[in-house]
Amino acid sequence: MPRAARKPRFERQLPEQRRRGLIDATIECLKRYGHEGLSIRTISAQAGVSVGLINHHFPNKDELIAAAYRQFNGELVGGMQVAVARAANSPQARMRAFLEASFSPPNLDADTLAVWVVFWGLYRHSRMIQRVQRETYQGYVRLVRGLLTELLPRPPRSAHTSRSRSTPVELRLAAVGLTALLDGLWLEWCLEPGAFRPAEAINLCEAWIESLCQRVGAAPALPGMPE
Amino acid sequence: MPRAARKPRFERQLPEQRRRGLIDATIECLKRYGHEGLSIRTISAQAGVSVGLINHHFPNKDELIAAAYRQFNGELVGGMQVAVARAANSPQARMRAFLEASFSPPNLDADTLAVWVVFWGLYRHSRMIQRVQRETYQGYVRLVRGLLTELLPRPPRSAHTSRSRSTPVELRLAAVGLTALLDGLWLEWCLEPGAFRPAEAINLCEAWIESLCQRVGAAPALPGMPE
DNA sequence: TCTGTTGCTGTACGATCGTTCAACAAGGTG
DNA sequence: CACCTTGTTGAACGATCGTACAGCAACAGA
């Protein structure tokens, strides 16, 4: 028998590479089949390996899912940070870059949003997902908060006693509102992609931010309390 | 043997009542166990019936889930409509009632949002869920759009050529943005209930609406806002 | 009290789930 | 070349899944 024709039945890989491949397959299955794609056999078939290999690299299925969620979140947040870092060095340009990155691929992608929703569905009943969420989401929150901090003007110096201490509180609300608007637009676009165009979403967010600037600048109070 | 002590092993119910009970049990299981609660045995145990009964009243599991989604959406949308109808007869008061209903139970409830997220996760890969979504969500969209229509002032008469036709477009975007803000705040509050208070969410939404009013025509502002 | 309808039970079945593990083999090392 | 380490396979296990169905029994009407 010709020994040159023999081909290895499989290829050994370094654990790090194989883990990465399994995580990628997990996310791909999630995109294709939703929550039902999260089975060992579906994932291993997608990765082109046998069923037993997953438990060789991950203690159990939940850990694989958590690792997938970590990578998924990390790459998206990382992409946003890169987009912002590449922007021109002005607060407006940086915010604009952030919004444009938010509403263009890979962020504004039906697959991406579908994956995200499945993870959200797991959130409440999985300690592991909660932990990953806490670890990765704070990078995103810091990014948004930083963009808003440099964008919103300082309150007038005349208000320097109790008013000045109210600003960080209002900044918190501003960040809450902006991320809510972003998340909500993502969701809406996912459920009905024809309802609006990405550019319109950007305009909505910029209108929100502009009204914030007007409030902070003109009167040093955000919609917290009517005085 | 004492015939008076004999107790029926089960109680027959009208199909309509039994179906309702099974649907309620389905939603309760979703609240308690998330996506994993959607099993025939879990639901039938919650409803206090045998495993076979579900397939007696529903052709299959997916139809039961779709029915549960229909009732779940219908009750929430109906509650909102009632809250708006009960409000004082001014656009501002009606919108205020809508927002207050949005950010108080049973809408702003961690269980409610958790159930919603699971349904969202099923959306992409279930024709039935998509159909129910289309049927029930349009009532909600009509409600929001109606509230905005009566709230936003007509554009100034001076602009009567191409400007006048741009108004419905802006109304569409206004509704998109408002529902996005609502959905996003729901989601954020669900993921981290301590991040903000419901009253703050209402204020954020009212700030959004007010800035819309200013854009469309510099006219009536909501009460409680610095001009 | 008897009878018919039918809501309801509960076992059974095949499919699929996550996980285990003994055996295999790829590829570096001597 | 033989050897060893270990990444990898794939059968097997018990549990659980959705569904089917034959029979039981509740309850109304005669």
Tell me the whole-structure pTM to 2 decimals: 0.88
Provide the CA A113 to C1' C23 distance, Å, integer: 43
**Euclidean distance between CA atoms B112 and B34, whole angstroms:** 11
Provide the pLDDT for residue A174: 86
Nearest chain B CA: its distance from A161 CA (Å): 20
Q: With CB atoms and an 8 Å threshold, state whether A117 touches B114.
A: no
Candidates A29, A61, A183, partner chain B, best to mutate (most B CBs within 10 A): A183
Per-residue pLDDT of chain A (227 residues; tens, 9 = 90+): 344 456 788 999 999 999 999 999 999 999 999 999 999 999 999 999 999 999 999 999 999 999 999 999 999 999 999 999 999 999 999 999 999 999 999 999 999 999 999 999 999 999 999 999 999 988 998 999 999 999 987 655 554 444 444 456 678 888 899 999 999 999 889 878 888 999 999 999 998 888 877 766 544 344 443 33
Provide the pLDDT for residue B173: 87
**Euclidean distance between CA atoms A18 and A127, whole angstroms:** 25
Q: With CB atoms and an 8 Å threshold, state whether A180 touches B176.
A: no
Q: How confident is the model at residue B226 (pLDDT cuts 50, 70, 90)?
A: very low
pLDDT in tens, B23-72: 999 999 999 999 999 999 999 999 999 999 999 999 999 999 999 999 99
Provide the CA A9 to C1' C25 distance, Å, integer: 9
Residues of A in contact with B120 (CB under 8 A): 117, 120-121, 187, 191
Size of interface A-B (CB pairs under 8 A): 137
Provide the pLDDT for residue B207: 87
Q: Which residues of A, range 74-113, sit inside 8 Å of B by Cβ?
A: 110
**Euclidean distance between CA atoms B132 and B60, whole angstroms:** 16
Provide the pLDDT for residue A181: 95
**Euclidean distance between CA atoms A192 and B123, whole angstroms:** 11
Neighbours of A207 (CB within 10 A): 18
Residue A34 vs residues B12, B117, B133: alpha-carbon distances, Å: 38, 13, 17
pLDDT in tens, B172-196: 888 899 999 999 999 889 878 888 9
Residues of A in contact with B214 (CB under 8 A): 211
C-alpha radius of gyration, chain A, whole number = 23
pLDDT in tens, B127-139: 999 999 999 988 9
